[in-house]
Structure 1
Amino acid sequence: MKIEIWSDVMCPFCYIGKKNFEQALDQLPFKDEVEVEWKSFQLDPTLQAGETKTTAEYFREKKGFPEEQAKQMTAQVVQMGKALGIDFNFEKALITNTFPAHKILHLAKKHGKSSEMEEELFRAHFLNGENVGNTELLSSIAEKLGITKDEALQTLSSEEFDYDVNQDIMEGRNNGVTGVPYFILNGKYAVSGAQPAALFVEALTQTYNERVEPFKSAKGSDLSCDTDGCSI
């Protein structure tokens, strides 16, 4: 059974959704039959390559939110993260263009390390306040996962995987993906947002038993991010 997940490393609900999904997967007797494929989505492709902003700067300049409102919004996400063992640090997080991060994710997919790379990128961005658009950082993360630094640097300095990233984005658009995280279960069942583990268990089990109609949407709170921001 194949699970496709559209995500962007700058989306806190994508990290929360990943944790909930993994918790659900661990509860399933057929988890070894599940293939997970991470797909690229960019929340803000308009950011200039190499440009970084603090979360407060980004909310103020791009979304028009005053600093106090931004703090209130992120404080809610911090509390949600704590319940899953995620220590979000929005004061350190650097907003940047994530296209290079998606390229390194595709390289990791080639090596069968995409889920591990997703985790490392989320940690770098949300916990460590590192610039996930930085070539040196990305190549170091790749090396940590057993991918040679030379191959990572070659990927980042060339157009390798550019098509793949853009193809993911286009495929998502064709499937109605306007916000992330977005899960398509075996091409039959769509789950949008960082849903609770229990909902994932139900949806995965139903999909495995082939009891759902194509592209029904799972009900639940829509904790997700789109190009206009994150809904809380």
Structure 2
Amino acid sequence: MYIDVWSDVVCPWCYIGKRRLETALGKFEHAADVELRWHSFQLDASHPQGHRAPVQEMLAKKIGAPPEQVRAMTRQVSELAAEEGLTYDLDNAVSVNTLDAHRLNHLAARHRLGDAMHERLLKAHLSDGELVDDLDTLVRLGAEVGVPEDEAREVLKGTEYAAEVDADFAEARRIGVNGVPFFVLNGKFGVSGAQSAVTFLSTLEKAYAKGEE
């Protein structure tokens, strides 16, 4: 059984959704048969590469809201994250273009480290205030989960895996994914957003039962 997940490494709801799915898998009797496959998605593909801005500032401009409203929004999502055991620090998070982070994730997947890499990138941005568009930072984060440093640096200095990232975007458009996280179980059952663990577990059971027919 497989689950395809479209996600961005700077998406606070994606980390929450990941944790809720993992909670559901912890209660799913066939969890050992489940393979997670991570797919690239950019919340803002137009974000210029190399441009960095505080997330609070970026959100204020994007939605045209005053700073205090943005702080209230990020505080609310941080409280929801805390309920899943996650500690967000969105006051220090920096908005960047995530193309290179996604390329690194594809490299990690080749080493069967895609889930660990996506987890580390989410934590780096949302909890640790790391710059997930910085070459040295990405190489270090990759090494932390087992991606060879020399290979990661070589890939990130070039354009390798950019086509795979584009293919993920194209597939997302084809199946109508407009936002993330988005989960597809066995190519048939879609779950949009960071749904509850109860919803994930129910969908897991339905997808597994359908696959057994």
Smaller-chain TM-score bracket:
over 0.9
- Rounded to whole Å, the distance in 2 between the matches of 1:163 and 1:88 is 31
RMSD over aligned CA atoms reads 1.0
Q: Distance in 2 between matches of 1:121 and 1:100?
A: 11
Does structure 2 conserve the Cα–Cα contact (< 8 Å) formed by 1:181 and 1:194?
A: yes
Aligned to 2:155: 155
Are the equivalent residues in 2 in contact too, given 1:59–1:66 (CA < 8 A)? Answer: no
Please tell me the residue identity of whatever aligns with 1:123.
K
Residue deviations 1:51-75 (CA, integer Å, cap 9, x gap):
1111121012233221011011111
CA distance in 2, matches of 1:198, 1:56: 32
SS at match of 1:141: helix
Q: Give the match for residue 169 of structure 2.
A: 169
Contact 1:49 1:96 in 2 (8 A): yes
Alignment of 1:177-216 (within 5 A): 177-210=177-210
**Counterpart-to-counterpart distance in 2, 1:155 and 1:62:** 32
- The list of structure 1 runs, each at least 4 consecutive aligned residues, that deviate by more than 4 angstroms after superposition, is none
Q: Residue 210 of structure 2: SS of its match in structure 1?
A: coil
How far apart, CA to CA, are the structure 2 residues paired with 1:56 and 1:34?
A: 37
What's the offset of the Cα at 1:85? 1.0
Query: Using the alignment, how far apart are the partners of 1:198 and 1:5 within structure 2?
Result: 18
Aligned to 2:89: 89
Give distance in 1, aligned partners of 2:62 and 2:154. 32
What are the within-5 Å matches in structure 2 for residues 104-123 of structure 1? 104-123=104-123
Q: Whole-Å Cα distance in 1 between the matches of residues 60 and 82 of structure 2? A: 25
The CA deviation string for residues 97-150 of structure 1, in whole angstroms up to 9 with x for no partner, is 000000000001000011101111111101110110111111011111222111
User: 1:40·1:165 contact (CA, 8 Å) conserved in 2?
Assistant: yes
Residue of structure 2 equivalent to 1:3? 3
CA distance in 1, matches of 2:118, 2:147: 14
Query: Secondary structure of the equivalent of 1:179?
Result: coil
Opposite residue 74 of structure 1, the aligned amino acid is T
Alignment: residue pair count:
211
In structure 2, how many angstroms separate the alpha carbons of the residues matched to 1:37 and 1:46? 25
TM-score, normalised to structure 1, is 0.89
1:193-221 Cα offsets, whole Å, 9 max, x none, are 0001111000000000008xxxxxxxxxx
Structure 2 residue runs without a partner (length 5+): none
Q: Percent identity?
A: 39
Structure 1 distance, partners of 2:152, 2:184, is 29
Q: What does residue 51 of structure 1 align with?
A: 51
For the residues of structure 2 that align with 1:44 and 1:155, how far apart are their CA atoms? 23
For residue 133 of structure 1, what is the aligned residue in structure 2?
A: 133
The alignment partner of 1:10 has SS state of: coil
Q: Give the Cα–Cα distance (whole angstroms) in 1 for the partners of residues 139 and 197 of structure 2.
A: 32
Q: Which structure shows the bigger proportion of residues in helix conformation?
A: 2
Matched, 1:32 2:61: no
Q: After superposition, where does 1:69-84 map in structure 2 within 5 Å?
A: 69-84=69-84
**Deviation readout 1:159-218 (Å, 9 max, x if unpaired):** 11000000001001101100000000001100000001111000000000008xxxxxxx
Letter of the 1:206 partner, please give it. K
Q: Residue 176 of structure 1 aligns to which amino acid in structure 2?
A: G
Corresponding position of 1:229: none
